[in-house]
């Protein structure tokens, strides 16, 4: 994918940092739209399609996490890279849980930022243009429609899946009866190798058990392999 075709929304209220990031993105060939507050970010998002959103957390009017939540309600495909002065594990987990695809703490290395931008855009492009080899998968009384990102749970109810839920389900089902390591999950679903807390993956597995298991304490399909990873059996 050519960088000239990538449109980025840059949400950062500190003028010097904003200008520095914007200049370097444009030098790489990206088209950049600027926003300096939470409300202006939401307005810009409503006006055009972006291949990536770079989102500061500390913003006037509305913080970046709230903006991220708002965007995820409207659109589950646009990658969001959060920039934050907070570098604690809980802050990272919260940002990712709110819907961010990546999290970079200030002060960051500019080359690392540009690399993460490139990887997120390329990954999103591949996902949007790759038709899943498994479109609908049935197990027990449950089913998953990967094209529609929906599922029928163990009680017969329809469930809307988030992008990451669908991606993790697809990875586990595609490798059914085999252990998928945490490292592979992080690379395929989150797109990078360093993740602050593996409990986030555990929370996804707990959600799957809630959707698809008759007894979440004695799972039939979704298993945690201690110290290694996770396995779907059918």
Mutual angle of helices 89-97 and 199-212, in 10-degree steps:
40
Mutual angle of helices 64-74 and 38-47, in 10-degree steps:
20
Which backbone phi and psi does 69 adopt, to 5 degrees? -60, -45
pLDDT of residue 213: 96
How far apart CA 152 and CA 34 sit, in angstroms, is 41
How far apart CA 14 and CA 141 sit, in angstroms, is 52
- The answer to whether the CB of 179 falls within 8 A of the CB of 225 is yes
Give me the domains of the chain, ranges plus CATH numbers. Answer: 3-129 (3.40.50.2300), 136-232 (1.10.10.10)
Residues 21-47 pLDDT 10s = 999 999 999 999 999 999 999 999 888
Average pLDDT over residues 201-215: 93
- Among 104, 41, 99, 93, smallest CA distance to 75 is for 99
Residues 176-192 pLDDT 10s = 999 998 878 877 777 65
């Amino acid at each position: 994918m050519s960088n000239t075709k990538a449109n980025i929304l840059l949400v950062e209220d500190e003028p010097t940092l904003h200008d520095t990031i914007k200049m370097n993105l444009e030098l790489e060939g990206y088209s950049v739209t600027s926003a300096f507050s939470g409300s202006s970010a939401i307005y810009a998002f409503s006006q055009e399609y972006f291949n990536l959103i770079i989102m500061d957390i500390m913003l006037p009017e509305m913080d970046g996490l709230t903006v991220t939540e708002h965007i995820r309600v409207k659109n589950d495909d646009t990658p969001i890279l959060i920039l934050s002065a907070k570098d604690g594990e809980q802050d990272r987990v919260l940002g990712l849980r709110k819907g961010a695809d990546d999290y970079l703490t200030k002060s960051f290395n500019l080359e690392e930022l540009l690399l993460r931008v490139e990887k997120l855009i390329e990954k999103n492009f591949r996902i949007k243009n790759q038709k899943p080899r498994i479109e609908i998968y049935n197990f027990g009384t449950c089913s998953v429609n990967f094209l529609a990102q929906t599922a029928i749970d163990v009680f017969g109810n329809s469930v809307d899946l988030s992008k990451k839920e669908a991606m993790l389900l697809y990875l586990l089902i595609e490798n059914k009866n085999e252990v998928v390591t945490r490292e592979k999950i992080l690379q395929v679903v989150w797109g990078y190798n360093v993740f602050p807390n593996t409990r986030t993956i555990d929370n996804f597995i707990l959600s799957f058990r809630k959707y698809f298991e008759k007894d979440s304490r004695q799972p039939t399909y979704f298993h945690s392999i201690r110290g290694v990873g996770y396995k779907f059996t059918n």
